[in-house]
Chain A
Amino acid sequence: MKAAIVVFPGTNRERDMAIALRRVTGQAPRMIWHHETDLSGVDLVVLPGGFSYGDYLRCGAMAAHSPIMGAVRDFAAKGGHILGVCNGFQILTESNLLPGALLRNADLRFLSQDCHLRVEVEGTPFTRRWKKGDIFRTPLAHGDGNYTADAQTLAVLEGEGRVAFRYADAKGRVCADDRTSNPNGSVNSIAGVLSENKRICGMMPHPEDLVDPLMGGEDGLPLFEGLVEALVR
């Protein structure tokens, strides 16, 4: 699997992502500055976390208009695989590559803590290492992670099995109104969603920060191992 990480001005979790990808592929991913436009030979494009353009205007809104995003759209149109984490998820919704939007956290404060995610769909390139209903722990760190979408979009997402992950408690119980298990107040406790072809995934938490026992666990590793399996050439 050849992975590329897009770096925008203000991106700050590209190094974390590179460590996680190197861990599963054995090679350093390509780092792509946002002014570039060439994604040839790439199997997986990752939009990492951070504060692209300082989150000014709206999180991800300005990055969505960077030169690289034209190439990312073409890549998506050809069926390419894309993972957007945190600010990367925000950029994907601002680019209309994924539906919905990320609002300010429900309590209006930045949140940095561990959360539990329940895997909602199995067999996708992003979730194939898990079974439906599996629970894993992952850190989150964001001010604008409160996922929302209109009722019709939600019905489509839920109906087509395009909710990848939901916030849950350690036992896997989901309760959208409970700030302990659904800390940012996301609708239906949605933490990650998939595109129609299930090759684009956006999620707010940071599985890339939990891929090493030294840092507290490897709960995030299956996501990256699954991608390698799915995208092996």
Chain B
Amino acid sequence: MNKPVTVDESLAREFGLTGEEYGRVLSIMGRKPSLTELGVFSVMWSEHCSYKSSRKWLRGLPTKAPWVIHGPGENAGVVDIGQGYAAIFKMESHNHPSFIEPYQGAATGVGGILRDVFTMGARPISNLNALRFGSPENPITRRIVDGVVRGIGGYGNCVGVPTVGGEINFHPAYDGNPLVNAMTVGIARQDRIFLSAAAGVGNPVVYVGSRTGRDGIHGATMSSAEFDEDALSKRPTVQVGDPFIEKLLIEACLELMATDAIVAIQDMGAAGLTSSAVEMAGKGGVGIELDLDAVPQREPNMTAYEMMLSESQERMLMVLRPDRTELARQIFEKWELDFAIIGHLTETGHIVIKHKGQLEADIPLEPLADEAPVYDRPSIAPEKPAELGSVHAPLSLDAMLLQLVASPDLASRAWVWNQYDSTVGGQTVRRPGAADAAIVKVEDTQLGLALTTDCTPRYCQADPRTGGAQAVAEAWRNITATGARPLAVTDNLNFGNPEKPEIMGQFIAALEGMGEACKVLDFPIVSGNVSLYNETRMPDGTTQAILPTPAIGGLGVLDDVSSAVGLGMQPDSDLVLIGATKGELGQSIWLREILGREEGAPPTVDLAAEKRNGDFVRAEIQAGQISACHDIADGGILVAAAEMVMASGTGCELESPDSGIRPEAFWFGEDQARYLVCVADGQSFCAKAAQAGVPARLMGRSGGNDLILPSGVTISAARLKSAHETFFPALMDQ
């Protein structure tokens, strides 16, 4: 089967290395590398593993706060949530595989991010996912949505981790390159956190989990290139997941982690055995020697190259205390998982790979890491978008509202959520759609976590800097709207080809905006993932990039989870609008859905106002003064009010808009830093807000089952819901 191959520059190029990078390999090795060695270099230096285009810019992001225990650099970020507990969380993309094979691509995305979290000692307690699909009119979109949703459910439901939140957008820019960003949150005791730096020369290196097969070889390289018309022929590079094995692996690892057996542990994710072995030894400043004959194998006659590059799922690599190896073996045998000692740590500083008595690779680890390419790619700063000229509403207010709540980006996601188990674990306090962030209780405590994912790609496309800041601000606002204290962020930076200066310009500007928002809102980034080359080569040779999509996963904490509020309209309350309204319609959903235009500048992000308004709202929720709260985002005030009515079935009579602002701009403008809240006495509440320097005005009175517009036009909650709930079933069950 295996034809002899010649290692040369042309093979290196096939493996995704440039000529210059291959030259660097030659100088590090001082000789021509073996096939296995070239494979190791090519995956470790792939964009996916090395962050070579993004690293320079990631360094500028704020990552520290007194509550941050571990920031970027570990498998996931770790923050102090109080009472000796830590939340461990990260978001990661599985975009390219999900286009090629939607079910397995999405399923293994969930599996991979779960492992990043439980490898640190945390029991995973929540999954979320940020999804972007192509146009609903594109015939392949339906197939991709179906596969991705089934894949996320198929994996998450089986492992018994509730899927509690997420977001979905549709846009033609994702037609050939959907985005699947999966986030996992876990809980651990702060004194039981496990890291990946190997230590102790002579200590055994242990492989546990599924056997190694030929699936996913060079997956990391595939994820570092654009798609071409042959993309679908790359199915063999997509891994196949087994959530049952993952569930056993979670339980076995957590059981072992309750002992003192583990020195270091790392999951085998992208680039499999190669990256886990290289990273563990590299971080620990030791050498590592592997004997591949001991690796549990699923297929006969696998070569060293194949084993080192396989991305078979549900595998972990550990360094154990030698005197605890038998204890560990017993635990994994109890869970009916493979357990094999495949090597040991050395003092050589090299990774040495042996197979069938042959030396297959011998690479010095320091230069493999330190001399990895870092590029300062040329960039062109994005142009400022032209201001939106005057626009006019072509329809009545109620007709536009009904059209908006039925539109793809605003329609009910219940069809999707209802395929995800959101209650397993028995700790889900607010299920999807019930609050601006999902609320999950920390078992055996009164602590609660508020979890959300956010990004508005159309804002990022028009103005990446504002869009980057807005994504962070919206995550912070969604957490705040439940009463929780925002703590930290994980990010998933999805962009096009960084070798194009305009894409690099988007990336740099978006990160500047994100960094600024994180700094002002005291909301550091503790983990994340970069996914570049999200482009599709069209048959005519041109390429289409996705909208820049820096997805933000936000985490907040409630000291007393019972203090959280949802977004459902509460009866017999005053509805108050918090935050200033200018009526910004640029890049709004209204402009796109009603007038068919994607134009103008996104709404202004005023971070000082964001913080002032949000801190006020959170304090009032904690003081028990607010019974429902909803942030105002896509669709503006009127859509937000309609969403509150639909969530509880309780209606509301709205007051007239501010004079001086056109009605469509007032009702559908997407000005930031705003909330709608239900309070007992709106007048005194507004007075208190004024004292705090927070703009507030009475917006209406709740009661009955209808949304009543200032004109007297009445729309029942049932009518809103029937418009809201049509889109997904109509798209998917046709």
Residues of A near any B CB (own CB < 8 A): 9-10, 12-13, 15-16, 19-20, 33, 49-51, 53-56, 107, 109-113, 139, 141, 143, 206, 208-209, 212, 214-216
A-B contact pairs, 16 of them (CB 8 A): A10-B247, A12-B160, A12-B247, A16-B423, A19-B426, A19-B443, A109-B150, A109-B419, A112-B157, A112-B418, A112-B420, A141-B424, A206-B423, A215-B427, A215-B428, A216-B431
With A and B bound together, what is the CA distance between A39 and B441 in angstroms? 33
Q: With A12-B159, A50-B160, A51-B247 as known contacts, state yes or no: A110 contacts B426, CB within 8 Å.
A: no
Whether B116 is near chain A, meaning CB under 8 Å from some CB there, is: no
Contacts of B421 in A (CB 8 A): 110, 112, 141
Q: With A51-B247, A141-B423 as known contacts, state yes or no: A214 contacts B561, CB within 8 Å.
A: yes
Closest CB in chain A relative to B634 CB, distance in Å: 25
Contacts of B423 in A (CB 8 A): 16, 112, 139, 141, 206, 209, 215
Q: With A19-B426, A141-B423, A215-B429 as known contacts, state yes or no: A13 contacts B160, CB within 8 Å.
A: yes
> Does B244 contact A53, Cβ atoms closer than 8 Å?
yes
Of chain A, the residue at the smallest CB distance from B153 is A110
> Does A13 contact B424, Cβ atoms closer than 8 Å?
yes
With A and B bound together, what is the CA distance between A113 and B427 in angstroms? 15
Whether B710 is near chain A, meaning CB under 8 Å from some CB there, is: no
> Does A16 contact B424, Cβ atoms closer than 8 Å?
yes
Size of the chain B interface, CB-CB below 8 angstroms: 35
Q: A12, A55, A112, A215: which has the most chain B beta carbons within 10 Å? A: A112
With A and B bound together, what is the CA distance between A42 and B408 in angstroms? 53
> Does B336 contact A9, Cβ atoms closer than 8 Å?
yes
Whether B378 is near chain A, meaning CB under 8 Å from some CB there, is: no
Closest CB in chain A relative to B210 CB, distance in Å: 12
Of chain B, the residue at the smallest CB distance from A20 is B426
Closest CB in chain A relative to B431 CB, distance in Å: 8
Whether B693 is near chain A, meaning CB under 8 Å from some CB there, is: no
Q: B242, B248, B417, B431: which has the most chain A beta carbons within 10 Å? A: B431
Contacts of A15 in B (CB 8 A): 425-426, 443
Q: Total contacts A to B, CB within 8 angstroms?
A: 92
Whether B243 is near chain A, meaning CB under 8 Å from some CB there, is: yes
> Does B158 contact A51, Cβ atoms closer than 8 Å?
yes
> Does B429 contact A12, Cβ atoms closer than 8 Å?
no
Q: With A112-B420, A113-B418 as known contacts, state yes or no: A215 contacts B426, CB within 8 Å.
A: yes
Contacts of A206 in B (CB 8 A): 423
Of chain A, the residue at the smallest CB distance from B431 is A216
Whether B335 is near chain A, meaning CB under 8 Å from some CB there, is: yes
With A and B bound together, what is the CA distance between A195 and B650 in angstroms? 43
Interface of A is mostly: mixed
Q: With A9-B336, A10-B248 as known contacts, state yes or no: A54 contacts B158, CB within 8 Å.
A: yes
With A and B bound together, what is the CA distance between A19 and B441 in angstroms? 13
With A and B bound together, what is the CA distance between A19 and B426 in angstroms? 8
> Does B242 contact A54, Cβ atoms closer than 8 Å?
yes
With A and B bound together, what is the CA distance between A33 and B252 in angstroms? 13
With A and B bound together, what is the CA distance between A1 and B243 in angstroms? 35
Interface 1/0s, chain B 278-305, versus A by CB < 8 A? Answer: 0000000000000000000000000000
> Does A112 contact B426, Cβ atoms closer than 8 Å?
no
Closest CB in chain A relative to B484 CB, distance in Å: 15
Closest CB in chain B relative to A59 CB, distance in Å: 11
Of chain B, the residue at the smallest CB distance from A139 is B423
Q: A15, A53, A56: which has the most chain B beta carbons within 10 Å? A: A15
Interface 1/0s, chain B 472-515, versus A by CB < 8 A? Answer: 00000000000000000000000000000000000000000000
With A and B bound together, what is the CA distance between A63 and B417 in angstroms? 29
> Does B158 contact A55, Cβ atoms closer than 8 Å?
yes
Contacts of B561 in A (CB 8 A): 214
Whether B562 is near chain A, meaning CB under 8 Å from some CB there, is: yes
Contacts of A216 in B (CB 8 A): 429, 431
With A and B bound together, what is the CA distance between A111 and B419 in angstroms? 5
Closest CB in chain B relative to A164 CB, distance in Å: 21
Of chain B, the residue at the smallest CB distance from A111 is B418
Contacts of B531 in A (CB 8 A): none
Q: A12, A53, A208, A215: which has the most chain B beta carbons within 10 Å? A: A12
